[in-house]
């Protein structure tokens, strides 16, 4: 079914459930960050009509938060909270420099996350934000149409979401 050597691609049900868990957590964190921005940034009192500078600051902060969540947790544990709960993980399709034994290079996860969250970064730019949102949506939907179960974001990062937890590294 897959040309990816080694681990078996994660089932779509587990992968979708893991993404939903992560979206709930990121949504709560994003709501808290937005609430803080609305209360503290000049020109941000009305979230629907935010001025360009606070909108830019908030977009960059949310992009950093969302991408950081994916990158840091994957570097430390092999996956996000959702992936760990559903027993799936991110794996490199081919070994990359900078990856720990059994892990994925941080830059690969950053590339993968940038594709997923580009719409957050460009949210304040009307046309670019819409195009980035379409790319992000396609990245997620493409998982369901790929025989390898690899979305656009997986291909951009050279990764795959596979079944199982990260193998432990013995000394």
* pLDDT number for residue 126: 77
Query: Is residue 4 situated within a structural domain?
Result: no
Residue 2 resides in a domain: no
Whether 67 maps to a domain, the answer reads yes
Judge whether residue 6 has pLDDT over 80.
no
The string of pLDDT tens digits covering residues 73-103 is 988 888 899 999 999 998 888 765 555 545 6
Over 90: is that where the pLDDT of 65 sits? yes
Give domain status of residue 83, yes or no.
yes
Position 7 pLDDT exceeds 80: no
For residue 169, being part of any structural domain is answered with no
* pTM for this predicted structure: 0.83
Domain assignment of residue 99, yes or no: yes
Calculate what percentage of the chain has a pLDDT beyond 70: 88
Instruction: Give the separation between CA 19 and CA 14, rounded to whole angstroms.
Output: 9
Domain count, the chain: 1
pLDDT value at residue 50: 81
Tell me what pLDDT residue 170 has: 45
At residue 171 the predicted structure's pLDDT band, cuts being 50, 70 and 90, is: very low
Question: Is 84 part of any domain?
Answer: yes
Q: Is residue 95 part of a domain?
A: yes
Domain assignment of residue 73, given as a range: 12-163
DSSP string over 89-151 = EEEESS--TTPPTTS--HHHHHHHHHHHHHHHHTTTSHHHHHHHHHHHHHHHHHHHH-TT---
Average pLDDT value over all residues in the chain: 85
What's residue 150's pLDDT? 92
pLDDT at 5: 52
- Which pLDDT does position 129 carry in this prediction? 82
């Amino acid at each position: 079914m897959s040309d990816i050597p080694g681990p078996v691609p994660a089932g779509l049900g587990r992968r979708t459930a893991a993404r939903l868990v992560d979206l709930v957590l990121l949504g709560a964190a994003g709501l808290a960050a937005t609430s803080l921005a609305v209360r503290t940034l000049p020109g941000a009192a009305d979230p629907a009509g935010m001025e360009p500078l606070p909108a830019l600051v908030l977009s960059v902060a949310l992009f950093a938060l969302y991408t950081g969540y994916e990158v840091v947790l994957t570097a430390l544990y092999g996956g996000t909270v959702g992936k760990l709960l559903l027993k799936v993980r991110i794996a490199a399709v081919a070994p990359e420099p900078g990856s720990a034994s059994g892990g994925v290079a941080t830059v690969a996860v950053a590339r993968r996350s940038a594709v997923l969250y580009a719409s957050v970064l460009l949210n304040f730019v009307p046309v670019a934000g819409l195009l980035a949102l379409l790319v992000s949506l396609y990245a997620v939907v493409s998982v369901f149409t790929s025989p390898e179960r690899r979305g656009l974001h997986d291909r951009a990062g050279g990764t795959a979401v596979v079944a199982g937890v990260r193998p432990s590294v013995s000394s």
